[in-house]
Amino acid sequence: MSDALLSLTDVVKYFPVQTGHLRRSRDMVHAVDGVSFEVRRGETLGLVGETGCGKSTLARCISRLFELTSGQIIFDGRDISRLRPRQLRPLRREMQMIFQDPYGSLNPKRRVGSIIGDPFAIHGTASGAERKRRVQEAMELVGLNPEHYNRFPSEFSGGQRQRIGVARALALRPKLIICDEPVSALDVSIQAQIINLLSDLQDQLDLTYVFIAHDLSVVRHVSDRVALMYLGKVVEIAPAEELYQHPRHPYANALLSAVPIPDPIAAAKRERIVLVGDVPSPVHPPSGCNFHPRCPKAQDRCVVEEPSLLPRFDDDELHATACHFPVADGEDLSEARPAIGVEHRIVEPDTAGAPTGLGVSVAHGSPGSPESPEPVERRRS
C-alpha cells in the first residue's frame, strides 16, 4: 500500500514498574503490546478505547516522545522507530500533536504569539516581523483574532485555548496531526466547533489525522476508519460505519451497547451488555486473548491462543477483528455464556446470579491489584 502515510508494525511499549530507588523490579506495564495498522494520506483514523488501554501511549510512540520497546514505525516512507533525538527534529515539522488539556498544554507564562511562534523559532524557519506575520496567519486560520497576539493563555476560554493549540500544531504545515483527545476536556457545544474546525482544516490543508478519543459518537463522526484498543492491543479495526453497524469483537459489541441513544424508547428496548469485572492489570495481562476473563464468549482456546487481527466471516479486508469467536450480525450476546474448561479456571464463574448477567468473575493477572501502576519514564528529548 503506497498511499500509507504512517505504518505501524508490532509496536510495543513497556514501562518498568518502579518499586524503589535501589531495587529495580522486572515487572513491566504492557502499555502498548504489539499494535500494527496503517494510516493512509488524507484520512482520519479514530483510535478508541477506555482509559488506560494505551491510546495516549501509542500516540506518544508515533510522535516519538517515547522510545519504542520494539516494533517499527514507517512515516512517509522513512523508518522513524530508531531515530535519535537530533535526527527527530526534521520529523517534528511533518508530524504534530494536539493535546487533550487546553489548560495544561499552553505555558501560562508566555504570550500567545510566542507560543504559536515556537515552531518557527525552534526550526529557524521565520524570525522577527516574518514570524509575527506567520503567527497571525495561523491565528486567523483557526478563527482567533490575530490582534490577541500579545495576550496570555489565561485570557482565553477553553475552546479558544484549544484553537491556540491547533494553530501551534498547524504552524509548520505538518502532514500528520495526532489529536490526543482534543475535545474531551471541552464543553459539548465547543466540542462541535473544534471538530468542525479540524475537519475544515483537513480539507483545506490536506491533513491526515490520528484522532484519539474515548467518546464513541465523536469518533464515529470524524473518522474514516476506527481502531478499537483494549489493554494495549488493537482488537478490531474497520471503516467507521462498518464498525458501528457490524461490530465483530465481543468487546466492541459491549462498548457500542453503552453508547447513549437519544431516543428513549429505542434506548429502553436495547439490551445493554454489561461486562463483568475490571480491566486486568497491564502489568500481568491475561494469557491468550487478553479479553478472555471478561468475555461472554470465551472458550478454552481463548485462554491459550492469542487471536490475530484478521477479517472474519465475509468481511472485506479493511475490517479485521482479533477474536476466535467473533459476533455474527444479529447474534444476541446477552445469551452467551463463557465456556472455559476447569483446567483454565481460576475462580468459579458466578452463574447462580442474575440470568442476564454474563461473563465470568475470573480474576487473571495480578490478584488484588486492580489499579495499574503509574508508568514511569525518564523524559528527555
Partner 1 sequence: MSVATSIESGIAGPAEPFGVAPGEADARIEGRSTWELAWARLKRDRAAMISLTVIIVIILVAIFAPVFAAITGHGADAQFRTTGMTPDGLPVAPGSRFVLGTDDQGRDLLVRIAYGARISLLVGVVVTVLVVAVGAVLGLAAGYMGGLVDTIVARLIDVVLSLPYLLFAISLVSINFLGGPGLPIIVFVITVFSWAAIARVVRGQVLSIREKEYIEAARSLGSGSWRIMFVDILPNVVAQLIVYATLLIPVVIVFEAALSFLGLGIPPPTPDWGQMISEAQQGGLYQQAWWFLVFPSAALVITTLAFNILGDGVRDALDPRLERL
Contact call for residues 73 and 11 (beta carbons, < 8 A): yes
Interface of this chain with partner 1, residues 112 to 131, rule: CB under 8 A: 118-119, 122-123
Percentages helix, strand, coil for the chain, rounded to the nearest 5?
30, 20, 45
Selected binder of partner 1 within 23, 26, 269, 379 (CB under 8 A): 379
Instruction: Find the shortest distance in angstroms from Cβ 207 to partner 1.
Output: 16
Selected binder of partner 1 within 23, 84, 269, 380 (CB under 8 A): 380
Instruction: Find the shortest distance in angstroms from Cβ 5 to partner 1.
Output: 17
Selected binder of partner 1 within 87, 107, 196, 308 (CB under 8 A): 107
Look up cell 490478584; give the residue.
367
Q: Which listed range, 35-43, 102-110, 279-287, 317-325, lies at the site for partner 1 (CB under 8 A)? A: 102-110
Q: Long-range contact list for 319-322, CB < 8 A, 24+ apart?
A: 319/236, 319/237, 319/238, 319/239, 319/242, 319/243, 319/246, 319/248, 320/236, 320/237, 320/238, 321/235, 321/236, 321/238, 321/248, 321/249, 321/252, 322/233, 322/234, 322/235, 322/236, 322/249, 322/289
| Residue 165 interacts with partner 1 (CB under 8 A): yes or no | yes
Q: Is 56 helix (H, G, I), strand (E, B) or coil?
A: helix
| Residue 184: φ, ψ to 5° | -70, -15
What span, in angstroms and rounded, lies between the C-alpha atoms of 269 and 49? 25
| Residue 23 interacts with partner 1 (CB under 8 A): yes or no | no
| Residue 104 interacts with partner 1 (CB under 8 A): yes or no | yes
89 versus 133: smaller Cβ distance to partner 1: 89
Look up cell 487546553; give the residue.
102
Selected binder of partner 1 within 2, 26, 147, 263 (CB under 8 A): 147
24 versus 270: smaller Cβ distance to partner 1: 24
Q: Which listed range, 32-40, 47-55, 85-93, 260-268, lies at the site for partner 1 (CB under 8 A)? A: 85-93
What span, in angstroms and rounded, lies between the C-alpha atoms of 138 and 164? 9
- Positions that interact with partner 1 (CB under 8 A): 60, 63, 65, 85, 88-89, 92-93, 96-97, 99-101, 104-111, 118-119, 122-123, 147-148, 150-152, 155, 165, 168, 378-381
